[in-house]
Chain A
Amino acid sequence: GAVVSQHPSWVICKSGTSVKIECRSLDFQATTMFWYRQFPKQSLMLMATSNEGSKATYEQGVEKDKFLINHASLTLSTLTVTSAHPEDSSFYICSATYSGNTIYFGEGSWLTVV
């Protein structure tokens, strides 16, 4: 079946630095990718929707200049957390779909900012 891979699974970074998380669709071309964030004991919240070759659409309250999303190809989307702070520590997960079919999720990435 389709597989979506995220890298890294775990990352620790210093406050003020930037960190990039990759989301790849391994055996299908993802026309749309989604990025979610989950804080402890809360549900996953959609951060942004990205379509290949166009700018991402951010959900209300998500800073687009802080969370840079690049969907440069049909198999890769990246989320860069810029100038990370401890409050950005969270579980980030991506999902991908081809033309509105079933959504496949990555394994998620745990970010800790110290």
Chain B
Amino acid sequence: KQEVTQIPAALSVPEGENLVLNCSFTDSAIYNLQWFRQDPGKGLTSLLLIQSSQREQTSGRLNASLDKSSGRSTLYIAASQPGDSATYLCAVDSGNNDMRFGAGTRLTVKP
């Protein structure tokens, strides 16, 4: 059974700093991996989707990488802003739409 772990559980950084969020998964046989953002009291917003054949995806200040063999993905946020404060979730799809989520990293960007 796929298990997804996110480190750290919480992170607080000053505005403008670059940061990296980590996600690891136990079974490298995945279909794709997604990073989501969840604001308090809100639903999920999909940020980046990486197919199993891809190594990375970029959208604006966000860059997500995938290393299937080592079971790792990272989400890089450049020049962080207070508006980036949210919980970031990593989800692994092992095929047959069997998605497993990590517990998330709660990010706070201080002005």
User: A: which residues have CB within 8 A of B?
Assistant: 6, 32, 34, 36, 41-46, 49, 93, 95, 97, 100, 102-108, 110
Which residues in A have their C-beta under 8 angstroms from that of B103?
A: 41-43
Docked-complex contact A105 and B97, CB < 8 angstroms = no
**In this complex, what residue of A is CB-closest to B9?**
A41
**In this complex, what residue of A is CB-closest to B104?**
A43
Q: Mark B81-111, 1 if CB is under 8 A from A, else 0.
A: 0000000010101001111111110000000
Query: What's the Cα separation between A18 and B100 when bound, in Å?
Result: 28
Interface of B is mostly: strand
Known: A107-B42, A107-B43. A43 touches B102 (CB 8 A): yes
In the assembled complex, how far is the CB of residue A73 from the closest CB belonging to chain B, in whole angstroms? 19
Docked-complex contact B41 and A43, CB < 8 angstroms = no
Docked-complex contact B97 and A49, CB < 8 angstroms = yes
Query: What's the Cα separation between A34 and B101 when bound, in Å?
Result: 13
- Is B49 in contact with chain A by the CB < 8 A criterion? yes
Instruction: Please name 17 pairs of A and B residues whose Cβ atoms are closer than 8 Å in the assembled complex, sorted by A.
Output: A32-B97, A43-B89, A44-B89, A44-B91, A44-B101, A46-B100, A93-B44, A100-B96, A100-B97, A102-B49, A103-B34, A103-B93, A105-B36, A106-B43, A107-B42, A108-B44, A110-B41
Query: What's the Cα separation between A102 and B43 when bound, in Å?
Result: 17
Docked-complex contact A34 and B43, CB < 8 angstroms = no
Which residues in A have their C-beta under 8 angstroms from that of B75?
A: none
Q: In the complex, which of the residues B42, B46, B93, B101 contacts A108, with contact meaning CB atoms closer than 8 Å?
A: B42
User: B: which residues have CB within 8 A of A?
Assistant: 4, 34, 36, 41-44, 46, 49, 89, 91, 93, 96-104
Q: In the complex, which of the residues B4, B34, B46, B98 contacts A43, with contact meaning CB atoms closer than 8 Å?
A: B4
Query: What's the Cα separation between A103 and B99 when bound, in Å?
Result: 9
Which residues in A have their C-beta under 8 angstroms from that of B4?
A: 43
**In this complex, what residue of A is CB-closest to B6?**
A43
Which residues in A have their C-beta under 8 angstroms from that of B100?
A: 46
**In this complex, what residue of A is CB-closest to B46?**
A105
Q: Which of A36, A97, A103, A106 has the most CB of B within 10 A?
A: A103
In the assembled complex, how far is the CB of residue A7 from the closest CB belonging to chain B, in whole angstroms? 12
